[in-house]
A = this chain, B = another copy of it.
C-alpha cells in the first residue's frame, strides 16, 4: 500500500476575498496532484488524450476542515479508493506543516473511448499501477 505525496504552497491568487483558499481551487490542486501521479505511473494525461482516451470525472466531493491561508505549505497524500470495471476513485488528504488535517477530496473517473464515448474496461497496465496505491479499507 503506497501513497503518492504532492507538495505545493498556496499563492496570492489561491486566496479569496474572505482570506482563505477558494474552495474550487482546492479541487484544482487535487487535480494537479492527480496529473503528477498519473504521469509518475506512466499515464501522463497529455499522452492519454493524444491516444484518444478520455478519463472524465463523473463525481467529485470535498470536506473542508480548517481554513487554508496564503503561504501555507500543503502536502496532498493521494491514494486510490476503489477500482471498478471501467472507473476508479482517487482520494486526497490535505495536511499542513504540523501534519494537521486541513481538507480531503475524492474524484471518480471513468475510462472512455473518445470516438464512441462508451465506457471501456480499464486496461490491465493501468489497473495494476492503480492497485499499488489502493487505500486500506
Contacts and interface: CB of A to CB of B under 8 A. Distances in A.
Interface of A: prevailing SS: mixed
A136 interface: no
B24 A13 contact: yes
A61 to B, nearest CB: 4
Give the copy number. Answer: 4
Contact of A28 (B24, B56, B70): B24
A13 B12 CA distance: 11
Contact of A58 (B11, B18, B64): B64
Interface of A: 9, 11-20, 22-25, 27-28, 31-32, 35, 39, 44-47, 49, 54, 56-65, 67, 69-71, 107
